[in-house]
């Protein structure tokens, strides 16, 4: 158990809909990262938050957004869903205090999104 | 860009034999390299990392990895494979241009047969 929790585990929805994925980082971790895992694209970085502020963006679509709340949990919002958005979405957390990437990212169990 | 490559889609090894899962990196500056393992329908579990120092890094579950700067490699090794080691293994590098997010290789499926 990494200490990172994600809900829900599974999500099935229809094209055009909007969903919200939730992540609670390990106790004390300030950084949260979101990744997408799909068969064709592999594991891709989406977005990072540090202590409530957006820190970096990866290959995140404009239809996707995220935020980190004062209690440090994070939510990933996916809207106008398309079939191709079906994937496993992971959240990872790290201490984030070194500022130089030496800390370890610990991953949650993921949310499997299926868009029908 | 900071990237890693895993040249093998699948590695097959008999139980009890040594195993190696290969990873090469392309990084400007000093690399921060990681290995993760993913079991079916599970999240990624951290195995080990290289930041600096000793080129041989020891990690969880008996795994180790050797950092080789001249060959730009970071191969994952285990002296004696177990059937339970069968899983998907990912090499990754921290990307200083993306908030130190992880750039992953495509993954190598390890199959250990009894």
Is residue B11 within 8 Å of residue B111, measured between CB atoms?
yes
- State chain A's mean pLDDT as an integer: 94
Mean pLDDT (whole number) for B71-100: 94
Question: For B16-57, how does the pLDDT look when each residue is reduced to its tens digit (9 = 90+)?
Answer: 999 999 999 998 888 999 999 999 878 899 999 999 889 999
**For residues B28 and A94, which has the higher predicted lDDT (pLDDT)?**
A94
State the sign of the Cα–Cα–Cα–Cα dihedral A11, A68, A85, A20: positive
Between chains, do A48 and B42 touch, taking CB under 8 Å as contact? no
Indicate the pLDDT class of residue A97, thresholds 50, 70 and 90.
Answer: confident
**For residues B111 and A40, which has the higher predicted lDDT (pLDDT)?**
B111
Between chains, do A105 and B46 touch, taking CB under 8 Å as contact? yes
Indicate the pLDDT class of residue B100, thresholds 50, 70 and 90.
Answer: confident
B51/B109 Cα distance (integer angstroms): 25
Q: Any CB–CB contact under 8 A between B106 and chain A? A: yes
Q: Give pLDDT, residue A72.
A: 96
Between chains, do B98 and A33 touch, taking CB under 8 Å as contact? no
Q: Mutating which of B2, B32, B44, B91 best tests the A interface, going by the most A Cβ atoms within 10 A?
A: B44
Q: Any CB–CB contact under 8 A between A10 and chain B? A: no
Contacts 24+ apart (CB under 8 A), A4-9: A4/A91, A4/A92, A4/A93, A4/A106, A4/A107, A4/A108, A4/A109, A4/B43, A5/A108, A5/A109, A6/A89, A6/A90, A6/A91, A6/A108, A6/A109, A6/A110, A6/A111, A7/A111, A8/A111, A9/A109, A9/A110, A9/A111, A9/A112
Q: Any CB–CB contact under 8 A between A36 and chain B? A: no
In this model, does residue A103 exceed pLDDT 90?
A: no
Q: Phi and psi of A73, rounded to 5°?
A: -70, 160
In this model, does residue A76 exceed pLDDT 70?
A: yes
**What is the DSSP track for B10-50?**
EEEEETTS-EEE--EEE-SSS--EEEEEE-TT--EEEEEEE
Is residue A80 within 8 Å of residue A18, measured between CB atoms?
yes
Percent of chain B as helix, strand, coil, to the nearest 5: 10, 55, 40
Q: Give pLDDT, residue A99.
A: 66
Mean pLDDT (whole number) for A8-15: 97
Provide the pairing of β-strand A111-115 with A10-13.
parallel
Indicate the residue of B46, B90, B96 with minimum beta-carbon distance to A101. Answer: B96
B63/B80 Cα distance (integer angstroms): 9
């Amino acid at each position: 158990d990494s200490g990172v929790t994600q809900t829900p585990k599974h999500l099935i929805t229809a094209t055009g809909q909007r969903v919200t994925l939730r992540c609670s980082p390990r106790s004390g971790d300030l950084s949260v990262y979101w990744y997408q895992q799909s068969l064709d694209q592999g594991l891709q970085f989406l977005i990072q938050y540090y202590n409530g502020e957006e820190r970096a963006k990866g290959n995140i679509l404009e239809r996707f957004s995220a935020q980190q709340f004062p209690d440090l949990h994070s939510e990933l919002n996916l809207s106008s869903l398309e079939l191709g958005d079906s994937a496993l979405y992971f959240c990872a957390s790290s201490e984030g205090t070194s500022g130089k990437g030496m800390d370890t990212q610990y991953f949650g169990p993921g949310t499997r999104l299926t868009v029908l | 860009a900071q990237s890693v490559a895993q040249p093998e889609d699948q590695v097959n090894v008999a139980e009890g034999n040594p195993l190696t899962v290969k990873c090469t990196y392309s990084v400007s500056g000093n690399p921060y390299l990681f290995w993760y393992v993913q079991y079916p329908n599970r999240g990624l579990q951290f195995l080990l990392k290289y930041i600096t120092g000793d080129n041989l890094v020891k990690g969880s579950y008996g795994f180790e990895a050797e950092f080789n700067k001249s060959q730009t490699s970071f191969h994952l090794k285990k002296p004696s494979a177990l059937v339970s080691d069968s899983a998907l293994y990912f090499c990754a590098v921290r990307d200083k241009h993306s908030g130190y997010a992880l750039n992953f290789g495509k993954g190598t499926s390890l199959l250990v047969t009894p």
